[in-house]
Amino acid sequence: MAVAAAGFAITALLILTVWRKPLSANTGAIMFGRRAYFVAVGLEVLAIVAAANLLPRYGLDAYFIPVLGIVVGLHFIGLWVAAGKGRAARSLLWIAGAMCIVSALSALLPAAYGGFNPRDAACCFANALVLWIGASRRI
């Protein structure tokens, strides 16, 4: 519990530091509107905490990683809004859709057996590929 409280305090401090720091056109940070960006990330954090608490309560904790992938994917829609919805930000929508699709499909795979979890492995690997491809499209 103390580690979680320390992590929360550090995260809150970092958010406040970033929030109060003036944006510089040289950093590229100006691309993200502050409010939209923080709303997207804040909702993502709330959804992850909700999933971490609700899924085990209903015996669905084996689906946490695919649900996490969907939540992270959906937050890219908020980042697209924060980036101004322009043509340059379209790759964020591609990432959002692809992450949600591969995460949902990975939930259909069998649960862990023999020390291997194909559901989590496929979800994590596929989402890593999506992010790598999405990043390469931005270069």
Q: Where are the domains of the chain?
A: 32-138
pLDDT of amino acid 139: 44
Residue type for 43, please? L
Over residues 27-65, the pLDDT tens digits come to: 455 555 568 888 888 999 999 999 999 999 999 999 999
Question: How far is residue 127's CA from residue 76's CA, in Å, rounded to a whole number?
Answer: 13
What's the whole-number mean pLDDT along residues 109-117?
Answer: 87
Q: Which residue has the higher pLDDT, 90 or 105?
A: 105
pLDDT of amino acid 114: 85
Residue 105: band (very low, low, confident or very high) from pLDDT cuts 50, 70, 90: very high
Please state, in angstroms and as integers, the Cα–Cα distance from residue 106 to each residue in 43, 50, 78, following that order. Answer: 23, 20, 23
pLDDT of amino acid 123: 96
pLDDT of amino acid 36: 81
**In DSSP terms, which residues pair with 69 in a beta bridge?**
none
Question: How far is residue 109's CA from residue 127's CA, in Å, rounded to a whole number?
Answer: 15
Predicted TM-score of the model (pTM): 0.74
Return the closest-CA partner of residue 45 out of 80, 84, 15, 6. Answer: 15
